[in-house]
Amino acid sequence: MNNTPTTLSAAMSFIRRLSFSVLACFSAHSYAEDKAQWQSLFNGEDLQGWTVKIRNHALGDNYANTFRVEQGLLTVSYDGYEDFDNRFGHLFYQSAYSHYRLRLQYRFIGEQIHDGAGWARRNNGIMIHSQSPQSMSLEQEFPVSIEVQLLGGDGKRSRSTANMCSPGTHIMLDNKLQKRHCIESDSATFHGDQWVTVEVLVRGAELVEHFINGERVMVYQKPQYDNSAKDAQALVQLQGGQLSLSAGFIALQSESHPTQFRNIEILPLPGN
């Protein structure tokens, strides 16, 4: 082989082009495979596959058309309400999951209904590892679950999103059992009606991570039931006294501020 500078340069250039081509093909294959595995949970036309449970209303009663589809967007609306009257609602997907990635986009729109609580302004959430809607009592406000709390800014002050709240549950954070109801994430504040992408990585009873616009903003471990919470006690009994929370349903909230969702997708992971 002639080891002149010109020959070596040409050889190295060929190797670089070949390596790039191989990596590009591999990346394209991985991307295509990843896209194929993601499953849409919302068809953009109706609420097929979802079940409504609104406080003080029977299972399946979508009071005042709270959850609806408008222009392809899953919309939470209160234009049919005279008063909110603490009618906290949840829209449950039909299947339970354990190990998965969930992602969607959300935005807050319009004004909060007049008698909504102050803390619920520009406030919604994604419930994970939730009890089933069928197991909720008529007057129950929130399902026993882990909430990925979605918050919008007021145009002035900082207000993180993708926080963690724990109706009837606890988590481990920094190797300590956390009994605070809500813990803030490290996210930025999102004012106005801009779309925000949230993703949740769930690995059974071991690990949960929250992401906003591709950036990890929170991680915690070992979701578990709070056996001192009335709504959780029957669920603990059903699993023989074990507190570990390893699977459950996914639900979207209605907490008194109009909200829209789109591109709701799930990627089941090994162990699901």
Sheet holding 163-165, edge to edge: 50-54, 89-97, 248-254, 123-130, 146-151, 163-165, 182-183
Which range, of 30-39, 46-55, 243-252, averages the lowest pLDDT? Answer: 30-39
Rounded to whole angstroms, the Cα distance separating 4 from 86 reads 81
CATH number of the structural domain spanning residue 224: 2.60.120.560
| pLDDT at 272 (0 to 100) | 78
User: At residue 2, does pLDDT exceed 80?
Assistant: no
Helices (H), the chain: 5-37, 230-238
Cβ-Cβ contacts under 8 Å for 227 (sequence gap 6 or more): 233, 236, 243
Residue 37: which of 271, 272, 266 has the closest Cα? 266
Residues 99 and 16 in one domain: no
CB distance 264 to 48 below 8 Å:
no
Residues 199 and 244 in one domain: yes
Residue 122 contacts residue 112 (beta carbons within 8 Å): yes
Residue 167: which pLDDT band, with cuts at 50, 70 and 90?
Answer: very high
Nearest residue to 132 via CA among 99, 94, 86, 102: 94
Q: How far is CA 164 from the centre of its chain?
A: 10
What's 173's DSSP letter?
Answer: E
Q: Are residues 215 and 237 in the same domain?
A: yes
**Quick one: 15 and 125 in the same domain?**
no
* Segment 34-44, tens digit of pLDDT: 555 999 999 99
Q: Do 44 and 3 fall into the same domain? A: no
Name the domain count of the chain: 2
pLDDT digits (tens, 9 = 90+) for 106-158: 999 999 999 999 999 999 999 999 999 999 999 999 999 999 999 999 999 99
Residues 166 and 220 in one domain: yes
Domain that holds residue 120: 40-268
Tokens standing for residue 178: 């956390």
Q: pTM here?
A: 0.87
Question: How far does Cα 269 stand from its chain's mean position?
Answer: 16
